[in-house]
Amino acid sequence: MRGLAYGLELCYKLKVINVVIEVDALSLIQLLNKNIMCYPEFIYILRKIKILMEGLNWTLVHIFREGNACADFLARKGCLINGMEEFSCINLPQ
């Protein structure tokens, strides 16, 4: 969820308005498409995501984890680091 929020913030900052959002969490798609209550710790991040999506021309698509190995790798790596780590062409993991 935080990764989606961060990506949408980047779209906002870069003035990108046409976005295809691919996520492997079907439950996240269900939360975003329906106004259902969820765990209290997710309410604020979901609200932030919905507000950011209002300014975009977006399509939300479910993609299986195997369909995007790069995103899956980065998500797993992100779970193992503290804070934020940015990659460039120089330090991009193989």
| Annotated domain spans of the chain | 2-80
Q: Which two tokens stand for residue 22?
A: 């691919």
Predicted pLDDT at 64: 83
Q: Which two tokens stand for residue 81?
A: 């680091």
In this prediction, what percent of the chain has a pLDDT beyond 90?
Answer: 26
C-alpha 2/C-alpha 8 separation (Å) is 10
CB 38 within 8 A of CB 31: yes
CB 72 within 8 A of CB 65: yes
Each residue's pLDDT tens digit, 14-44: 999 999 998 888 888 888 877 666 677 788 8
Predicted pLDDT at 90: 83
CB 9 within 8 A of CB 51: no
Residue range 2-80, CATH number: 3.30.420.10
